[in-house]
Amino acid sequence: MKKIQIIVFALMAVCLSSCYSHRVIGYLQEPTKQNKLPQYDSVAYEPYHIRINDEIIYRLITMDETMSKMLGTNNNISTQYANSYRVQADGTIDLPFLEPLRIVGLTEAQAQDSLRAAFRTIIPDADVKLALYNKYFSVIGDAHAGQYYIYKEKMNIFQALAMTGDVMNSGDRRHIRIVRPKDFAQEPEVLEFDIRTNSIIDSKYYYVYPNDVIYVARTKNSFYTVQSYAAFTGLITSSVALLTTVLNYVALVYR
């Protein structure tokens, strides 16, 4: 019985040290001497700037009946919103009735203003609504991989991961990586950060942009870690039962 007690206590110590704790997987933690979380500086939000190979869609609104007919509509208000237009290598887009328009490096609002001004050279009452078509981010690793739509401006990393169902317990929250494309013919930027610290808010790692790839690696010791205390209890119970059975069998054999 003493041997069984020693083995049980040893198993309990190992399993308790292997359980996922708040310090390991919790978000928005205050830095302490125990967790030694990094502190990130706050930076101003920078709107997304259109890049080469991005695709835009737009809606043209006018009361000009002639232009309405040219666009293939019978209404007084014409709408063109079905096709997407790729930003070419020279930074321009080719749109019907217009000269190539350079929009690379502009925000969506700036590109919309430029497109409206261009259309008003031929349609005085033209109004334009422009949007980025490829407004997606991707997730790979231990966070339910997939491609997800950015439905709002200033989407942050927590909202993005919530769309995936959150990081798995086995995911390494200390070393989250975002691969962010740069300008044409440049190497992408790789941002690595610890998502557990509360200083992540308003840092350069906080916001998610179109074409971002979020990579969540698996922790090295995840194979040996117990998912929950319920799993820990089940492991202890089954281990004790197996050990008791083996010892009783050995006692019967050598009696």
Q: pLDDT tens, 191-220? A: 999 999 999 999 999 999 999 999 999 988
Measured distance CA(156)–CA(45) in Å, rounded:
11
pLDDT at 100: 96
Same domain, 149 and 209: yes
Confidence of residue 77 (pLDDT cuts 50, 70, 90): low
Same domain, 128 and 86: yes
Last residue of a domain, one of 132, 161, 188: 132
Same domain, 147 and 40: yes
Same domain, 109 and 13: no
Where residue 35 sits, what CATH number does that domain have?
A: 3.10.560.10
Strands (E), 94-253: 101-102, 127-132, 136-141, 146-149, 176-180, 189-193, 213-216
Q: Which residues of 196-205 are buried (b: 16+ CB within 10 A; e: fewer)?
A: bbebbeebbb
Same domain, 193 and 146: yes
pLDDT at 107: 97
Of the candidate ranges 16-30, 79-93, 119-133, 228-242, the one whose mean pLDDT is the lowest? 228-242
Handedness of CA 82, 109, 77, 69 (dihedral sign): negative
Which residues are 216's β-sheet partners? 141
Q: How far is CA 132 from CA 22, 79, 80, 89, in A?
A: 39, 17, 15, 17
pLDDT at 212: 97
Residue of 79 and 27 predicted with greater confidence: 27
Same domain, 103 and 150: no
Last residue of a domain, one of 79, 107, 132: 132
Count of domains forming the chain:
3
Confidence of residue 67 (pLDDT cuts 50, 70, 90): confident
Residue of 76 and 201 predicted with greater confidence: 201
Same domain, 82 and 30: no
Same domain, 28 and 63: no
Same domain, 217 and 145: yes
Q: What percent of the chain has pLDDT over 90?
A: 57
Helices 2-18, 229-253: axis angle to 10 degrees equals 160
Is pLDDT above 80 for 235? no
Is pLDDT above 80 for 40? yes
Tokens found for residue 78? 């014409």
Q: Which residues of 96-124 are buried (b: 16+ CB within 10 A; e: fewer)?
A: eeeeebebbebebeebbebbbebbeeebe
* Angle subtended at Cα 181 by Cα 180 and Cα 184, rounded to the nearest 5 degrees: 165
Confidence of residue 97 (pLDDT cuts 50, 70, 90): confident
pLDDT at 62: 86
The whole-chain average pLDDT of the chain stands at 82
Range of the domain at 101: 55-132
Nearest residue to 66 (alpha-carbon basis) of 122, 133, 8, 2: 122
pTM here is: 0.76
Handedness of CA 196, 202, 208, 212 (dihedral sign): negative
Same domain, 139 and 215: yes
Same domain, 160 and 214: yes
Cα of 216 vs its chain's centroid, Å: 10
Where residue 74 sits, what CATH number does that domain have?
A: 3.30.1950.10
| pLDDT one-digit tens code per residue, 49-60 | 999 999 999 988
Same domain, 139 and 35: yes
Measured distance CA(182)–CA(199) in Å, rounded:
25
